[in-house]
Structure 1
């Protein structure tokens, strides 16, 4: 069993959502941020912004784990 937990990153530009996802999967933080922005822009921004806010509210802070 892995003890990895999806949590907000301390290395953040806004809330740490993209950074937390990148840390969890072992991906580049810049790459995840770029993909997020591209997907948001190509989907008229609203769904991407809505998902980001939901994840921001639901993901625990790394400090509180």
Structure 2
């Protein structure tokens, strides 16, 4: 189930909302996405997943207040 443009979520996020945004976009379980991210980041990739997460944090926009479309700010820290 695709909901348009990929955005970072505002609610239920742990760090930047990347995993929540991916889960929301495709209708997957957010905890499964987080687990896969941690495993990929720590096992066999020498932490490249962390770098990818930071890049995604910068380029994926934060969803708007109503959760329907991306807001104008791309960097929310």
Band of TM-score, shorter chain: 0.7 to 0.9
Query: Quick one: higher RCO (CA 8 Å, sep 6+), 1 or 2?
Result: 1
Q: What 5-or-longer segments of structure 2 have no aligned partner? A: 65-70, 73-77
Aligned match of 1:44: 46
Structure 1 gaps, min length 5? none
Paired residues in the alignment total 63
CA distance in 1, matches of 2:3, 2:33: 22
Q: Normalising to structure 1: TM-score of the pair?
A: 0.88
Query: What do you get for the CA RMSD once the two structures are aligned?
Result: 1.5
- Runs ≥4 in structure 1, deviation > 4 angstroms? none
- TM normalised by structure 2 equals 0.75
Structure 1 or 2: more helix by fraction: 1
